[in-house]
């Protein structure tokens, strides 16, 4: 299926990526995770996005889904739904250079009334050659914007059907 012309700069990002990540926040213990994300072309002027994470015992951790939009050549929008009770509406810039694609996004958050309070987020995705590096900062539970997640991913042949166990 042809990629919509607006998505041409993001063509190298399309596919499935997997690797390891680390999590931190002042209120919790540091943790490691395994991550798989996919950006899928469905012929529309946006990419479908899915993320899943697992711990070392293969138990599912955080998951999220959404859409990556490119309304202008240097502008990206990321619309995300999180099962922890947030919707995240990110906007930012797209930088494309030889062998380098970088996305920098700031997120506005809506929390359900029972969710842990997240006030703002900041995401970055850097595709450097064959390596996709991601970072996620958040202002949450009364703490200012700071790092929660960092991951280093590489291209996967196809989406894994990982067996998950109940933690
Ligand atoms: C790779 C994806 C992620 C993983 C593996 C992950 C993992 C974790 C873990 C293990 C904790 C500590 C245990 C807990 O309180 O449940 C935690 C806490 C938290 N995470 Fe994440 N998380 C991820 C993404 C996110 C995202 C995208 C957000 C917000 C939009 C978020 C917001 C929070 C909040 C608000 C807390 C609670 C901190 C507290 O209670 O002090 N996380 N996360």
Q: Which pLDDT belongs to residue 157?
A: 77
Tokens 């990540």, residue located: 21
Distance CA 51, CA 161 (A): 13
Encode 21-60: b = buried (16+ Cβ within 10 Å), e = exposed.
bebebeeeeeeebbbbbbbebeeeebbebebbbbeeeeee
CA of 24 to the centre of ligand 1 (A): 9
Encode 74-113: b = buried (16+ Cβ within 10 Å), e = exposed.
eebbbbbebeeebebbbbbebeeeeeebbbbbebebebee
Burial of 65 (0-12, 13-18, 19+ CB in 10 A): middle
Residues with CB under 6 A from ligand 1: 21, 23, 25, 27-28, 31, 33, 35, 53, 61-62, 82, 86, 88, 116, 118, 121, 136, 138, 140-141, 148-149
Q: Which pLDDT belongs to residue 163?
A: 52
Residue nearest to atom 2 of ligand 1 (CA): 62
Six-digit token pair at 10? Answer: 């993001």
> Which of 21, 25, 78, 147, when mutated, tests ligand 1's pocket best, judged by the most ligand atoms within 8 Å of its CB?
25
Domain ranges of the chain: 5-155
Residue nearest to atom 23 of ligand 1 (CA): 62
Q: Which pLDDT belongs to residue 1?
A: 86
Q: Which pLDDT belongs to residue 158?
A: 67
Distance CA 119, CA 116 (A): 10
Provide CATH code, domain 5-155.
2.40.128.20
Distance CA 100, CA 77 (A): 19
| pLDDT per residue rounded down to tens, the chain (167 residues) | 899 999 999 999 999 999 999 999 999 999 999 999 999 999 999 999 999 999 999 999 999 999 999 999 999 999 999 999 999 999 999 999 988 999 999 999 999 999 999 999 999 999 998 899 999 999 999 999 999 999 999 999 766 666 555 55
Distance CA 31, CA 25 (A): 10
| CA pseudo-torsion sign 17, 37, 125, 47 | positive
CA of 55 to the centre of ligand 1 (A): 13
Distance CA 101, CA 119 (A): 27
Q: Which pLDDT belongs to residue 47?
A: 98
CA of 164 to the centre of ligand 1 (A): 19
Residue nearest to atom 13 of ligand 1 (CA): 28
């Amino acid at each position: 299926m042809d990629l919509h012309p607006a998505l041409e700069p993001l063509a190298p990002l399309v596919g499935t990526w997997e690797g390891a990540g680390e999590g931190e926040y002042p209120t919790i213990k540091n943790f490691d995770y395994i991550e798989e994300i996919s950006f899928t072309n469905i012929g529309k002027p946006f990419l479908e996005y899915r993320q899943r994470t697992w711990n070392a015992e293969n138990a599912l951790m955080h998951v999220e889904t959404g859409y990556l939009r490119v309304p202008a050549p240097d502008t990206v929008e990321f619309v995300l739904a999180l099962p922890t009770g947030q919707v995240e509406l990110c906007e930012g810039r797209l930088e494309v250079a030889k062998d380098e694609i970088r996305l920098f996004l700031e997120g506005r958050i809506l929390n359900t009334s029972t969710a842990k309070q997240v006030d703002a987020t900041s995401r970055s995705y850097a595709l450097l050659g064959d390596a996709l590096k991601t970072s996620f900062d958040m202002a949450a539970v009364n703490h200012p914007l700071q790092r929660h997640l960092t991951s280093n991913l590489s291209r996967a042949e196809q989406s894994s059907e990982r067996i998950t166990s109940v933690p």
